[in-house]
Amino acid sequence: MDQPYLSLVIPVYNEEANLEPLMERLYPVALEIGRPFEIIFTNDGSRDGSLEILRGMVDDFPGVKVVEFTGNFGQHMAILAAFEASCGEIVITLDADLQNPPEEIPRLVAEIEKGFDVVGTIRRQRQDSTFRRLASRIVNTTTNTITGMQMQDYGCMLRAYHRHVVDNINRCRESTTFIPALAQTFAANPTEIQVGHAERAEGESKYSLYRLIRLNFDLMTGFSVVPLQLFALFGIITAVLSVAFALFLLVRRFIVGAEVEGVFTLFAILFFFIGIIIMGIGIVGEYVGRIYQEVRKRPRFVVRRTYGFEEQ
């Protein structure tokens, strides 16, 4: 095939039941665009038959390529590995579970060709559980508030990026990241469009409650120091109020005399501030933990083997 104009990037983790239905819909869409393309799958340590299916697709579908990890490094690392291997002027990411309709891809390509360098998507009539929608709303609101970005839907991975944005992402070497937010920091002319959304065809979501919480912490600590600044501000306000309260108690003692009323109120206040201190230590610990991960300089992911790239 010619030099790809379009690169389709798909992370895969235990998606054997979805891969063939995905290709039945994705490949015709790629052909209809009428430009040279490549489809890069990253096998993120799948324990089912996903790798065998992907290797078969390399032989059956021209332009299909596979990056195989030695283990499970996470969705965003899988996308970063494919970004580094991609060549297209336009790079589009999507999940393998068919919740992102491949038929929406031409719309994203058209937006990039209009001059936008990042095209985000907003899931229309989401087919997710109430818990997933609520968690997503919390992540979106928190991230926009802390980072100052303005995206409506960080969780939808059906996104398009211009080559220069992908090149800048590839220059970043942090060990944990969130690609939609990272791309937004390099975008000069971003936009968002609404796209369809479907129920997961087969299997279960890989994002548990714990992983969603971890994702939110990665967003907070990876793109802003606002949590630290807010905690410092809260500490200053608390210190001022503490001094004022101590003066009030001193004056009250001279006027009213010694008393024991309000002991439980003081305990409640004490427990409240202890909770705040513990939360603050946790926030500081998140930043320290990220520094620890960075200074070790360990590989973000390890590629065991690639398939389909040798023909370039």
For residue range 185-195, what is the model confidence (pLDDT) as tens digits? 899 999 999 99
Share of the chain above pLDDT 90, in %: 44
When computed from its CA atoms, the radius of gyration of the chain, rounded to whole angstroms, is: 25
- Residues 7, 40: contact at Cβ < 8 Å? yes
Q: Which amino acid is at 76?
A: H
Mean pLDDT computed over 29-33 = 95
Share of the chain above pLDDT 70, in %: 79
Distance, CA of 145 to chain centre? 16
Using DSSP bridges, classify how beta strands 118-123 and 190-195 pair: parallel, antiparallel or unpaired: parallel
- H helices of 86-148, in order, are 105-113, 130-147
Q: For the segment 128-157, what is each residue's pLDDT rounded down to a tens digit?
A: 666 666 766 776 776 677 666 677 777 788
Q: Which pLDDT belongs to residue 213?
A: 67
Q: If pLDDT is split at 50, 70 and 90, which confidence band does 180 have? A: confident
160 pLDDT higher than 70: yes
Q: If pLDDT is split at 50, 70 and 90, which confidence band does 53 have? A: very high
Among all chains, which residue has been given the structure tokens 């360098």?
117
Q: For the segment 246-305, what is each residue's pLDDT rounded down to a tens digit?
A: 777 677 767 766 655 666 567 667 777 777 787 788 778 878 877 877 787 888 899 999
Q: Which pLDDT belongs to residue 263?
A: 63
Query: What phi and psi, each to the nearest 5 degrees, are found at residue 11?
Result: -80, 145
Q: Which pLDDT belongs to residue 203?
A: 57
Q: Which pLDDT belongs to residue 268?
A: 66
Mean pLDDT computed over 36-63 = 95
**Cα–Cα distance measured from residue 7 to residue 157, given in angstroms and rounded to the nearest whole number:** 15
CB-count exposure of residue 191 (10 Å: 0-12, 13-18, 19+): middle
pTM of the model: 0.77
CATH code of the domain occupying 6-207+299-307: 3.90.550.10
Mean pLDDT computed over 24-34 = 95
Q: Where are the domains of the chain?
A: 6-207+299-307, 226-296
- Residues 111, 193: contact at Cβ < 8 Å? yes
Q: Which pLDDT belongs to residue 141?
A: 73
- Residues 108, 158: contact at Cβ < 8 Å? yes
Element (H or E) spanning 161, and its range? strand 159-162
Q: For the segment 196-247, what is each residue's pLDDT rounded down to a tens digit?
A: 877 766 656 555 566 666 666 776 676 666 777 777 777 777 777 777 777 7
**Cα–Cα distance measured from residue 139 to residue 93, given in angstroms and rounded to the nearest whole number:** 20
Q: For the segment 11-22, what is each residue's pLDDT rounded down to a tens digit?
A: 999 999 999 999
Nearest to 180 by CA among 97, 101, 91: 91
**Cα–Cα distance measured from residue 117 to residue 183, given in angstroms and rounded to the nearest whole number:** 9
- Residues 164, 187: contact at Cβ < 8 Å? no
> pLDDT: is 140 or 50 the higher one?
50
1 pLDDT higher than 60: no
Instruction: Tell me the C-alpha to C-alpha distance, in Å, between residue 303 and each of 45, 65, 81, 267, 307.
Output: 10, 14, 8, 55, 11
**Cα–Cα distance measured from residue 149 to residue 167, given in angstroms and rounded to the nearest whole number:** 21
Mean pLDDT of the chain, nearest integer: 83
Q: Which pLDDT belongs to residue 51?
A: 96
**Cα–Cα distance measured from residue 139 to residue 149, given in angstroms and rounded to the nearest whole number:** 12
Q: Which two tokens stand for residue 24?
A: 């039945």
Q: Which pLDDT belongs to residue 267?
A: 66
Q: If pLDDT is split at 50, 70 and 90, which confidence band does 312 have? A: very low
Element (H or E) spanning 236, and its range? helix 226-256
